[in-house]
Amino acid sequence: MSKKVRVRFAPSPTGGLHLGGVRTVLYNYLFAKKHGGDFIVRVEDTDQSRYVPGAEEYIFDCLRWCGLEPDESVQHGGSFGPYRQSERKPIYRTYAEKLIEQGDAYYAFDTPGELESMRENYKTEQNPSPQYDHTLRLKMRNSLTLSKEEVDSLLTDGTPHVIRINMPGTGTIAFNDMIRGEVSFDMSTVDDKVLLKADGMPTYHLAVVVDDHLMQISHAFRGEEWLPSAPVHVRLWEKLFGRDAMPQWAHLPLILGPSGKLSKRDGAKYGFPVFAMNWTDPKTGETVEGFRERGFLPEAFINLLAMLGWNDGTEKEIFYMEELIEAFSMERVHSAGAKFDYEKAKWFNHAWIQRVPVEGLAMRVEKSLGGLEGLGSLEKIVGLVKDRCHLLTDFAEQTSYFFEYPKTVDVAAIQPKWNEAKTDFFRTLMQRYETLAEWTAIELETSFKSLADEKAIKPGELMLPLRIMLVGGKFGPGVFDIADILGKEETIRRIEVLTAQLTNN
RNA sequence: GGCCCGUUCGUCUAAGGGCUAGGACACCACCCUUUCACGGUGGUGAUACGGGUUCGAAUCCCGUACGGGCUACCA
| Confidence (pLDDT) at A503 | 80
- pLDDT tens figures, A306-357: 999 999 999 999 999 999 999 999 999 999 999 999 999 999 999 999 999 9
Catalytic residue among A193, A239, A264, A422: A264
- Collapse the DSSP code of A163 into the 3-class scheme (helix H, G, I; strand E, B; otherwise coil) and give the result: strand
Query: Between the CA of A458 and the C1' of B6, what is the distance in angstroms?
Result: 63
Residue A180 domain-assigned? yes
A235/A247 Cα distance (integer angstroms)? 13
Q: 3-state DSSP helix/strand/coil percent for chain A, to nearest 5?
A: 50, 10, 35
Q: At what angle do helices A394-403 and A358-369 cross, to 10 degrees?
A: 80
The domain total for chain A is 2
Whole-angstrom Cα Rg for chain A: 32
Residue A183 domain-assigned? yes
Residue A469 domain-assigned? yes
Give residues with Cβ within 8 angstroms of A221, minimum separation 6: A7, A24, A27, A28, A31, A249, A250, A251, A252, A330
Query: Between the CA of A306 and the C1' of B8, what is the distance in angstroms?
Result: 21
ipTM of the complex: 0.96
**AA letter at A45:** D
- pLDDT tens figures, A194-249: 999 999 999 999 999 999 999 999 999 999 999 999 999 999 999 999 999 999 99
Give residues with Cβ within 8 angstroms of A397, minimum separation 6: none
Cis (ω within 30 of 0) for the bond into A82? yes
Last residue of a domain, one of A159, A185, A210: A210
Last residue of a domain, one of A210, A232, A251: A210
Nearest-CA residue to the C1' of B1? A126
What is the secondary structure of A86-121 as a DSSP string? Answer: GGGHHHHHHHHHHHHHHTSEEEE---HHHHHHHHHH
C-beta separation of A375 from A392 below 8 A: no
What phi and psi values does residue A262 have, to the nearest 5 degrees? -65, 125
The parts of chain A modelled with pLDDT lower than 50 are 1, 374-375
Nearest-CA residue to the C1' of B3? A189
- The CATH number of the domain where A421 resides is what? 1.10.10.350
| Confidence (pLDDT) at A1 | 45
Phi-psi region of A171 (alpha: psi -120 to 50; beta: other; left: phi over 0): left
Residue A317 domain-assigned? no
Last residue of a domain, one of A145, A175, A210: A210
Buried b (16+ CB within 10 A) or exposed e, A79-101: ebeebbbeebbebbbebbeebbe
Residue A136 domain-assigned? yes
Residue A225 domain-assigned? no
Residue A237 domain-assigned? no
Q: Please state the separation of Cα A466 from the chain's center in Å.
A: 44
Q: What is the DSSP letter of A181?
A: E
What phi and psi values does residue A55 have, to the nearest 5 degrees? -65, -35
Q: Which domain holds residue A488?
A: 405-504
- Write out which nucleotides of chain B lie closer than 7 A to a protein Cβ: 1-8, 10-15, 22-26, 34-39, 67-75
**AA letter at A433:** Y
Residue A188 domain-assigned? yes
Query: Between the CA of A245 and the C1' of B72, what is the distance in angstroms?
Result: 29
Q: Please state the separation of Cα A224 from the chain's center in Å.
A: 17
| Residue A310: nearest nucleotide (C-alpha to C1') | B13
A367 has catalytic annotation? no
C-beta separation of A40 from A71 below 8 A: yes
Residue A329: how many CA atoms within 13 Å on its side-chain side?
5
Query: Between the CA of A176 and the C1' of B5, what is the distance in angstroms?
Result: 14
